[in-house]
């Protein structure tokens, strides 16, 4: 794998709450990562201007708002995401097949394949454990539940899923080579684990079959964020064929 291919796999998590911070990180990392994640805190604070700020610096956006609502509401939200010009947008697979199907149908009807966002379904959050699932009445083991939701997402028209790196191989086996897998819970060898429970290194995740890696604090909290991004690229290149 080339360094450029490795860079394209990195999604930097913009876990900030000011537009000025977006400008800072986009200027610093636009040539070092493949995409920027705009999540709930930033979008709630800055709204669509956050997406526009990233795009102004030439960056692509993963809009990570994890929609989970009645089917029509989620479909309309996905259409709004598409109009913002984001590359990836997501919803919760636990919202069920009707919710996913309506969103996928609406987006494909409104946009050409080239211009539409790729739609992802969140399976089980990487901070969740078996105890977390049992507390809400889910008795299946985490991996089985993740694969079940991934299959359901594919059948419902999703382009891929967000899942822990520990489930990548099982999802790939169940859903095929073209199904996108985006993995948070990735920690390079030089970084702390923080609050993630089900983790891998970047090289391990890519080798297992991840298409994109969401990485935030290991870059953002580093003394030299640019060097940290370069080190992650090096890890991926050295650890994959």
* pLDDT reported for residue 191: 60
Q: Given the DSSP bridges, would you call strands 61-67 and 88-92 parallel, antiparallel or unpaired?
A: parallel
* pLDDT reported for residue 187: 82
* 146-197 per-position pLDDT tens digit: 999 999 999 999 999 999 888 999 999 999 999 999 999 788 877 655 544 5
Q: Measured between alpha carbons, how far is residue 167 from residues 56, 126, 224 in Å?
A: 35, 10, 31
Task: Find the mean pLDDT for residues 125-154.
Answer: 93
Task: Find the mean pLDDT for residues 198-204.
Answer: 82
* pLDDT reported for residue 134: 94
Confidence of residue 34 (pLDDT cuts 50, 70, 90): very high
Percentage with pLDDT > 90 across the chain: 86
Is 66 considered catalytic here?
Answer: yes
Q: How many residues does the chain have?
A: 241
* pLDDT reported for residue 190: 76
**Side-chain half-sphere CA neighbours of 225 within 13 A:** 19
Give φ, ψ of 200 to 5 degrees. Answer: -150, 165
Q: Which residue has the tokens 């970047």?
A: 202
Q: Which residue has the tokens 């359901």?
A: 152
* pLDDT reported for residue 177: 96
* 48-80 per-position pLDDT tens digit: 999 999 999 999 999 999 999 999 999 999 999
SS3 content of the chain, % helix, strand, coil (to 5): 50, 15, 35
CA 197 to chain centre: 17
CB–CB of 107/82 below 8 Å? yes
Round to whole Å and give the CA distance between 40 and 115: 24
Give φ, ψ of 36 to 5 degrees. Answer: -120, 135
Round to whole Å and give the CA distance between 41 and 32: 23
Q: Which residue has the tokens 């993995």?
A: 183
* pLDDT reported for residue 189: 75
* pLDDT reported for residue 198: 52
* Catalytic residue selected from 55, 66, 197, 207: 66
Round to whole Å and give the CA distance between 183 and 157: 19
Per-residue pLDDT at 199 exceeds 80: no
């Amino acid at each position: 794998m080339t360094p450029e291919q490795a860079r394209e796999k990195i999604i930097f998590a913009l876990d900030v709450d000011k537009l000025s911070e977006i400008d800072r990180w986009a200027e610093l990392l636009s040539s070092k990562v493949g995409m920027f994640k705009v999540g709930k805190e930033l979008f709630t604070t800055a709204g669509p201007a956050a997406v526009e700020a990233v795009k102004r610096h030439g960056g692509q956006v993963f809009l990570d708002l994890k929609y989970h609502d009645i089917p029509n509401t989620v479909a309309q939200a996905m259409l709004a995401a598409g109009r913002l010009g984001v590359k990836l947008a997501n919803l919760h697979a636990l919202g069920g097949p009707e919710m996913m199907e309506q969103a996928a149908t609406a987006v494909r009807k409104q946009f050409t394949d080239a211009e539409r966002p790729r739609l992802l379904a969140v399976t089980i959050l990487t901070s969740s454990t078996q105890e977390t699932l049992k507390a809400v009445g889910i008795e299946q083991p985490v991996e089985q539940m993740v694969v079940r939701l991934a299959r359901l997402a594919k059948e419902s028209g999703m382009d891929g899923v967000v899942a822990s790196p520990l489930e990548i191989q099982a999802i790939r086996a169940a859903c095929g080579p073209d199904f996108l897998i985006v993995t948070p819970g990735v920690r390079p060898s030089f970084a702390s684990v923080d609050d993630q429970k089900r983790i891998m290194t970047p090289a391990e995740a890519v080798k297992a079959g991840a298409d994109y890696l969401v990485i935030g604090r290991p870059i953002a909290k580093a003394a030299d964020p640019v060097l940290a991004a370069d080190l992650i690229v090096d890890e991926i290149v050295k650890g994959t064929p």
